[in-house]
Amino acid sequence: MLVIRFQRIGRKNDPAYRVVVTEKRSRPKSGGVEILGSYHPKTKQVVLKNDRILHWMARGAKVSDTVHNLLVAKAVIKAKKRSIKGQAAKKIEKKEALPSETAHTPA
């Protein structure tokens, strides 16, 4: 099964990601079928090949959650953002669980 996902490139403490089409069970550093773009989180630079992404999605390639959210943000596809899984979701839950400063506290 083909999937569109991020492939990490870049140096230590300076991540950059390629958006690639690859087999679901392939290794993260293995060569993908096709490079569809890049994403640099520090500079927020995004380069995408919109026509090729839509082509692979039409052929049945699934999209990972993070890439899906990026495509929604850049208006490549029209859909709702997917929920976050893993450690990022746990951090969000902890922030929501903390009592707000404006809440009434007994003296």
The predicted-structure confidence for 13-23, as pLDDT tens digits, reads as follows: 999 999 999 98
CATH code of the domain covering residue 75: 3.30.1320.10
Which two tokens mark 92?
A: 């969000």
Residue 67 lies in a domain: yes
Range of the domain at 58: 2-97
CB 56 within 8 A of CB 4: yes
The predicted-structure confidence for 21-79, as pLDDT tens digits, reads as follows: 998 888 777 777 899 999 999 999 999 999 999 999 999 999 999 999 999 999 888 98
Residue 50 lies in a domain: yes
pLDDT band at 83 (very low <50, low <70, confident <90, very high): confident
The predicted-structure confidence for 84-93, as pLDDT tens digits, reads as follows: 777 666 666 6
Residue 84's Cβ-count burial label (10 Å; 0-12, 13-18, 19+) is: middle
Residue 9's alpha-carbon distances to 14, 56, 60, in angstroms, are 9, 22, 26
How far is 59 from 105, CA to CA, in rounded Å? 57
Residue 103 lies in a domain: no
